[in-house]
Structure 1
Amino acid sequence: MNAMIESSMLERSTASAPPLLDIRDLRIEYRGRGESVVAVPGVSLQVGAGESYGLVGESGCGKTTTAMAIMGYLGGTGRITNGSIRFEGQELVGATAEQLRAIRGRRVAMVYQEPMSALNPVKTIGAQLAEVPRRHLGASRAEARELSATMLENVKLPDPLAMLKRYPHQLSGGQQQRIVIAMALLARPALLLLDEPTTGLDVTVEAAILDLIADLRKQYGTSLLYISHNLGLIASACDRVGIMYSGEMIEEASTAALFSQPRHPYTQGLLDCIPAIGSAKGMRALAPIPGHLPLPQERPKGCWFGPRCAHFDQSTCAGDSIPLLPVGDDRHQVRCARWQEIVAPPAAVAAGPTAPPGRATALAIANVSKQYPLAGSRRVVQANEQVSFEVGKGEIMGLVGESGCGKSSLARMVAGLEEATSGSIRFEDDELAHAPANKRAKDMLKSIQMVFQNPDSTLNPSHSVAWPIRRALRKFGGFASKAAIDKRLNELLDLVRLPPEVAQRRPAQLSGGQKQRIAIARAFATNPSLIVADEPVSALDVSVQAAVVTLLLDIQKEQHTTLLFISHDLALVRHVADRIVVMYLGRVMEKGLAEEIFTPPYHPYTEALLSAVHSPDASARQQERIRLTGETPSPIDVPPGCRFASRCHRKLGDICDTVAPPVRQASATHQIACHISLENLRAMRPVFEKALPEAHTS
């Protein structure tokens, strides 16, 4: 019955034109010794010619597995046990290796999340790019080189001929991703699969890559299948969206319909996990989705989202499996038995805007510079130069900027993992600039703790996850007896919302969100006065990110801890921070209260960062996007004038290249380092303007 309903809907939706990609009732299993895991029980989707389709869901929902099935890359244990994958009318399920080789790369190509997984570290970029036209287009060596150089121009990489001679390790992350995109597009495929193509990249690099893909799609008529948990990216790049949950499609609609009127409680929950770029701190609370994805062998009867759903009804939702049901005439489908009864709840409202804490200073950074000498040379890499700002007690300071701007090196100096070359770092009347961790007093080590971007860097895979927490309690907490340590350990696990039994598990047995909670518990074990959080949630799903951020804010507020929060997610920084420092190439471009940073006047670099944000927030309307051009100067040979001048869209002239910009005092709390007058900076148009509220209700 359910299959018949879904099949009839698919036929109705494609009556006008045959789809380029047609997946129906796809079932994927992984078989081991004596057992079989059904990763994808049955998913159906279609991508039309020239269409951009977004596939969204939490980690483990089957998005990447579905893409790998299209490519025929399921490994030795993966099997397609039912269903169909038709591409350009040709059936791929059961196709021979030779048939798949004729399609892969030539007609269907893939861009992976980690570009180095697709690049050979011992081959030049030119050699790797040339393989594509030589193999798939029959090009000669000279023709392949010319095609490769032209494609590098298309993906906006400077000096293509020189780039062809480089090796992957000589490129930045954004450049590596552009190379992978160029490689995928060289044979001009009809379908491009993009698996988290911008995860971990700066907002400016992400925006440039999305613009690039959109331009190339228009130029070559390529269809796109985006796989991502970044809903802002999906909202701006896709025509239609499919939401996956535990291996099945639970909602599908046009992008406009899905983001304005999501029907499934899971989709509504995902949207409520995203910080709103248009809301100030304290105006809107994130609403994490409770629970977690069920394991394949633990899927419940009826609605698989039921155990996590606030609208679950035993009599309606726990019986037979639930089909995809039509919603209106916009190819909108939802797998929910109660969708007509459910009204999406309004966004969770926090207590209201919060004034920054009192200005009793906890951390004072004055004229800090950090240089790294180049081996075998008298030259140095300038990581930080004359950085100055203060953080009040109990305050959250957001530190933002592109990769290489000096955020993490500054954080490492505060935490004692690096020494400053010059300048002062004072914390509670102690000077730390030239005091690495191994020279700091025990009380100081206890007072300053760090949460890293990758929790695996603080967890030993051969020990239980409780081991580093126990060690911190023994070394810094003054707990001597096993009973006292165990009691405090359980209190910390409860603080980060983890059950006591997690303590005995190894890191490999925990999810990314659970490991990050352990890292937070480890940081708070010593009752620190200052936490340095370096990109603590950038690699997590939006639902896990919302839970971890909410938890971190709750603990910080309860314990009155000062927090230095580093992130390239500006919407998240606005949700978290009281004050913000914007850095570029080692210098402070702008600093002020959070609300001052998000409204004019602001530095042209801040304006560009805000313009690059892809947000599905309906409360804020974004103006025309600013596309940065030019190259970032080398930190080895920094220009004498404004560091941002080579890319600035508001550059005044030679003065920007040759003279260091003055620091303009926009208010008592707001400073901007720029040659442009305050009068002209105030006249700038806001990047985001308030829009009429569009509540996603039925």
Structure 2
Amino acid sequence: MSASPAAAFPAFDVSRRDRADALTIVGLTVAYRVRGRDREVLQDVSFRVRRGEAYGLVGESGCGKSTVAMAVLRYLARNGRVKAGRISIGGEDVESLDAHALREMRANAISMVYQDPSRALNPSLTIARQVAEAFEVSGATYDDAMQRTLEMLRRVRIAAPERVMDSYPHELSGGMQQRVVIAMALASNPALLILDEPTTGLDATVEAEVLDLIAQLRKEYGTAVLFISHNLAVIGKMCERVGVLYAGKLVEEGATRDVFARPRHPYTVGLLRCLPSPGRNKDANRLDTIAGSLPSPGSIRQGCIYADRCRLADDRCRRDAPPPYRMSAPHGDQMSRCHYHERAVELPRVNADASGHDGYAAHAMQSSVQTQTQAPPSASKANGAERVLRAEHISKTFHAAGAVIRAVDAVSLELAAGETLGLVGESGSGKTTLAKMLLGLIAPDAGSVLELDGAPLASRVTRRNDEQVKSLQIVFQNPDSALNRAHSVKRLIGRALSRLTSLHGGAREERLASLAAAVRLPDRYLSARTRQLSGGLKQRVAIARAFAGDPRVVVCDEPTSALDVSVQAAILNLLADLQREHRVSYVFISHDLHVVRYLSDRIAVLYVGRLLEIGPAAAVFDGPHHPYTEALLSSVPTLDAHATTASRPRIHLDGEPPSPAAPPSGCVFHTRCPRKIGAICEQQDPPWSDAGDGHRIRCHIPIDELRSLQQRE
């Protein structure tokens, strides 16, 4: 297979190609003016999106993905400007358009869907008013716009669209809001649709529905898509071609199947190896990580921009910037900016010792936390050995606007020392409410039982003693909302240490330094404010603060959902290391089932506040499973063609989960269950059935029949 360097892409012959492409970007360089100096955040980026094609753009946060989208829309911040290059949409040069033509282009030729739909919707306007406005801009009358709004909401699979039209954004779920935003984006039948992380905050079933919707509408309308995401599995499912950005440069490009099957740049190899693929777990497989961090925007570097983090780099790489080498691949040309692109896929994995970790956390934390014996193996954990936390028949009822809402209904759980219990289920299933009751932030209903180390645990955190408060800590999804931006990192961790009366003066400083080292937080960041830190560094601060008081149990509520795959891998390795060394137990909440499987020893599945399945992670994932668990697993995209989830047919769940204010009789899942067997499901609450090894399923269908049905399909 031949490869040759090229100063420019032959594909970007504007006279022949532009009008055949929905989007053409040639030699794009974008700079932001900061403190009197231009900082280039994109450098000589070139790619095209053909009409009707889906093109994925991947890379770590800060690599320039969203800047590409803003440049295409000509919507850069005031201090940003295009220094060089050309952007054309359907043959029209975007930079040459006057104000009127630019407005017309944004209204009719291009649309964008953002990551957070709640920020794209006006909270003071009804859905009907907001969607209709998109039609009115193109000249439709009010009545016509309202009729087309109704049709468009039906087209994006919104049930009861008449009711939704009269609703305000806050009355809709996240998945419903995203469908509304997609309806608005498609109102003008654009030639190009830009999707900027459109499914990051959605659970597995809603994400699958939104992705299916995008694929269907793209087929109907012939719309080209520029899909920006850090979820490589989603890109693998949705896009024909993919470009990999690193520090503002396009370092690899090609057909998605070629790039993901045989990556030709060490950065792409690193990103793919960071993923917690099916079959891997924390006890046997440490995740690969990418050492170091992105260079600061605008930094001037000689040679390859990735050399400082690359394990293939040599003097040639540090001296000579690699040109865009092009080579043939099974599904088209592939490009890589790497002198050693033919060796990239053979890059050795990060070395780990026999225990699966590098030993650094162990050494650092031994001086900061009391040394404990190794955690028992997963089999012992699954059998409830050395129980730390017990919740028996724990329920929570809220009263709102005259309605009685049963958010959590008689859930019983146990947690062993050194064990991770994964909590999964759709949004609104009660996961976070359950976690807050364990922490004492919400008081459970009367009759609920909570115990820590066999002793009663007060329902309110204000009634717990200092030792109990220290024993249960939390790491939130968004560290920005949990860390005071006005305080330094040293003060944030130090305040948590101040509760330890046994530490004074130098001992406290030593403990703080050891905690920072344990979470891989360099000393230079201790004096920084959190607003100066990346998302991954902020999450490390949050973890250090949670571990400051020697916790027995740490609740991790979506701690990696907003992080890049490289940062996510580092955080997951860190959590596994800390658990291994200190026998701390985790309650781990996440929508990403690959992450849950990797870190969890056991898994509990919640639906509308009810526990439907619980058991060892391998048993729950491999089956038999509850029909709801089966639907969740079928919704998860994967890059592994041999994975169980890849071969499992997608199970579509009709409608939205029922309201906790009016749950259905009988089995709470029967209104959406694809395996409903009759009136018994509607009339009787199903009993628990034992699938062996602590694996229990709450379903009327016998275990053997579930196993047979699911193996057959």
- Please give the TM-score of this superposition, normalised by the length of structure 1: 0.94
Measure how far apart 1:132 and its partner are. Answer: 1.1
Amino acid at match of 1:659: Q
> Which of 536, 554, 558 is 2:577 aligned to?
554
> Which of 589, 599, 622 is 1:599 aligned to?
622
Residue pairs, 1:18-37, within 5 angstroms: 18-37=20-39
Q: Provide the rounded CA distance (Å) in 2 between the counterparts of 1:386 and 1:10.
A: 62
Measure how far apart 1:280 and its partner are. Answer: 4.5
Amino acid at match of 2:548: A
Q: Which position in structure 2 is the counterpart of 1:692?
A: none
Q: Provide the rounded CA distance (Å) in 1 between the counterparts of 2:660 and 2:431.
A: 14
Q: Provide the rounded CA distance (Å) in 2 between the counterparts of 1:610 and 1:49.
A: 33
> Which of 685, 689, 694 is 1:660 aligned to?
685
Q: Which position in structure 1 is the counterpart of 2:336?
A: 334
Q: Which runs of 5+ in 2 are unaligned?
A: 357-376
> Which of 355, 380, 387 is 1:361 aligned to?
387
1:585 maps onto 2:608 in alignment = yes
Q: Provide the rounded CA distance (Å) in 2 between the counterparts of 1:152 and 1:488.
A: 56
Q: Does the C-alpha gap of structure 1 residues 232 and 680 become closer, same or farther in structure 2, counting only changes over 3 Å? A: same
Q: Provide the rounded CA distance (Å) in 2 between the counterparts of 1:468 and 1:32.
A: 29
Residue pairs, 1:387-426, within 5 angstroms: 387-422=411-446, 423-426=448-451
User: In the alignment, is the contact (CA less than 8 A) between 2:628 and 2:673 conserved in 1?
Assistant: yes
Q: Which position in structure 1 is the counterpart of 2:590?
A: 567
Q: Does the C-alpha gap of structure 1 residues 687 and 623 become closer, same or farther in structure 2, counting only changes over 3 Å? A: farther
Q: Which position in structure 1 is the counterpart of 2:368?
A: none
Measure how far apart 1:565 and its partner are. Answer: 1.1
Q: Does the C-alpha gap of structure 1 residues 338 and 223 become closer, same or farther in structure 2, counting only changes over 3 Å? A: same
Single out whichever of 160-169 and 580-589 deviates more from structure 2: 160-169
User: In the alignment, is the contact (CA less than 8 A) between 1:278 and 1:619 conserved in 2?
Assistant: no
Residue pairs, 1:50-449, within 5 angstroms: 50-136=52-138, 138-314=139-315, 316-329=316-329, 330-345=332-347, 355-358=378-381, 359-375=385-401, 377=402, 379-422=403-446, 423-432=448-457, 434-449=458-473
Q: Does the C-alpha gap of structure 1 residues 91 and 17 become closer, same or farther in structure 2, counting only changes over 3 Å? A: closer
Measure how far apart 1:125 and its partner are. Answer: 0.7
> Which of 671, 675, 681 is 1:646 aligned to?
671
Measure how far apart 1:457 and its partner are. Answer: 2.7
Measure how far apart 1:13 and its partner are. Answer: 13
Q: Does the C-alpha gap of structure 1 residues 14 and 599 become closer, same or farther in structure 2, counting only changes over 3 Å? A: farther
User: In the alignment, is the contact (CA less than 8 A) between 1:284 and 1:347 conserved in 2?
Assistant: no
Measure how far apart 1:302 and its partner are. Answer: 1.1
Single out whichever of 610-619 and 544-553 deviates more from structure 2: 610-619
Cα RMSD between the aligned structures?
Answer: 2.1
Measure how far apart 1:356 and its partner are. Answer: 3.4
Measure how far apart 1:327 and its partner are. Answer: 1.8
Measure how far apart 1:171 and its partner are. Answer: 0.9
Q: Which position in structure 2 is the counterpart of 1:691?
A: none
Q: Provide the rounded CA distance (Å) in 2 between the counterparts of 1:238 and 1:518.
A: 36
1:458 maps onto 2:482 in alignment = yes
Q: Provide the rounded CA distance (Å) in 2 between the counterparts of 1:686 and 1:470.
A: 53
Measure how far apart 1:277 and its partner are. Answer: 2.0
Q: Provide the rounded CA distance (Å) in 1 between the counterparts of 2:19 and 2:81.
A: 30
Amino acid at match of 2:695: H
Measure how far apart 1:458 and its partner are. Answer: 2.5
User: In the alignment, is the contact (CA less than 8 A) between 2:269 and 2:345 conserved in 1?
Assistant: no
Q: Provide the rounded CA distance (Å) in 1 between the counterparts of 2:451 and 2:423.
A: 18
SS in 2 for 1:683: helix
Measure how far apart 1:452 and its partner are. Answer: 1.1
Measure how far apart 1:619 and its partner are. Answer: 4.1
Which deviations, in whole Å up to 9, do the C-alpha atoms of 1:609-649 show, x marking residues without a partner? 10010111244142221111122111111112111111111
Which deviations, in whole Å up to 9, do the C-alpha atoms of 1:250-284 show, x marking residues without a partner? 00011110111011000000001100123355343
Q: Which position in structure 2 is the counterpart of 1:46?
A: 48
Q: Provide the rounded CA distance (Å) in 2 between the counterparts of 1:185 and 1:191.
A: 10
SS in 1 for 2:489: coil
> Which of 654, 658, 668 is 1:633 aligned to?
658
Q: Provide the rounded CA distance (Å) in 2 between the counterparts of 1:389 and 1:119.
A: 39
User: In the alignment, is the contact (CA less than 8 A) between 1:623 and 1:687 conserved in 2?
Assistant: no
User: In the alignment, is the contact (CA less than 8 A) between 1:368 and 1:384 conserved in 2?
Assistant: yes
User: In the alignment, is the contact (CA less than 8 A) between 1:281 and 1:578 conserved in 2?
Assistant: no
SS in 2 for 1:411: helix
Q: Does the C-alpha gap of structure 1 residues 269 and 523 become closer, same or farther in structure 2, counting only changes over 3 Å? A: same
Q: Does the C-alpha gap of structure 1 residues 16 and 26 become closer, same or farther in structure 2, counting only changes over 3 Å? A: closer
User: In the alignment, is the contact (CA less than 8 A) between 2:324 and 2:338 conserved in 1?
Assistant: yes
Amino acid at match of 2:115: Q
Q: Provide the rounded CA distance (Å) in 1 between the counterparts of 2:334 and 2:5.
A: 17
Which deviations, in whole Å up to 9, do the C-alpha atoms of 1:290-336 show, x marking residues without a partner? 1111012324211111100000011x212232221112152210010
Q: Provide the rounded CA distance (Å) in 2 between the counterparts of 1:281 and 1:469.
A: 27
Q: Provide the rounded CA distance (Å) in 2 between the counterparts of 1:224 and 1:341.
A: 32
Q: Provide the rounded CA distance (Å) in 2 between the counterparts of 1:14 and 1:674.
A: 61
Q: Which position in structure 2 is the counterpart of 1:614?
A: 637
Q: Provide the rounded CA distance (Å) in 2 between the counterparts of 1:346 and 1:260.
A: 16
> Which of 683, 693, 700 is 1:675 aligned to?
700
User: In the alignment, is the contact (CA less than 8 A) between 2:5 and 2:326 conserved in 1?
Assistant: no
Q: Provide the rounded CA distance (Å) in 2 between the counterparts of 1:380 and 1:579.
A: 32
Amino acid at match of 1:239: E
- Please give the TM-score of this superposition, normalised by the length of structure 2: 0.92
Q: Provide the rounded CA distance (Å) in 2 between the counterparts of 1:99 and 1:668.
A: 66
User: In the alignment, is the contact (CA less than 8 A) between 2:55 and 2:226 conserved in 1?
Assistant: yes
User: In the alignment, is the contact (CA less than 8 A) between 1:396 and 1:579 conserved in 2?
Assistant: yes
Single out whichever of 629-638 and 50-59 deviates more from structure 2: 629-638
SS in 1 for 2:143: helix
Q: Provide the rounded CA distance (Å) in 1 between the counterparts of 2:285 and 2:212.
A: 30
Q: Provide the rounded CA distance (Å) in 2 between the counterparts of 1:262 and 1:396.
A: 34
User: In the alignment, is the contact (CA less than 8 A) between 2:118 and 2:177 conserved in 1?
Assistant: yes
Q: Provide the rounded CA distance (Å) in 2 between the counterparts of 1:13 and 1:513.
A: 44
Measure how far apart 1:504 and its partner are. Answer: 1.0
Q: Provide the rounded CA distance (Å) in 2 between the counterparts of 1:208 and 1:108.
A: 23
Amino acid at match of 2:710: R
User: In the alignment, is the contact (CA less than 8 A) between 1:664 and 1:678 conserved in 2?
Assistant: yes
Q: Which position in structure 1 is the counterpart of 2:547?
A: 524
SS in 1 for 2:516: helix
Measure how far apart 1:4 and its partner are. Answer: 5.9
User: In the alignment, is the contact (CA less than 8 A) between 1:203 and 1:612 conserved in 2?
Assistant: yes
Single out whichever of 150-159 and 449-458 deviates more from structure 2: 449-458
Measure how far apart 1:65 and its partner are. Answer: 0.5
Q: Which position in structure 2 is the counterpart of 1:623?
A: 648
User: In the alignment, is the contact (CA less than 8 A) between 1:574 and 1:594 conserved in 2?
Assistant: yes
SS in 2 for 1:470: helix
Q: Does the C-alpha gap of structure 1 residues 668 and 278 become closer, same or farther in structure 2, counting only changes over 3 Å? A: closer
Q: Provide the rounded CA distance (Å) in 2 between the counterparts of 1:648 and 1:508.
A: 46
Measure how far apart 1:229 and its partner are. Answer: 0.3
Q: Does the C-alpha gap of structure 1 residues 12 and 326 become closer, same or farther in structure 2, counting only changes over 3 Å? A: farther
Amino acid at match of 1:639: P
Q: Provide the rounded CA distance (Å) in 1 between the counterparts of 2:122 and 2:273.
A: 40
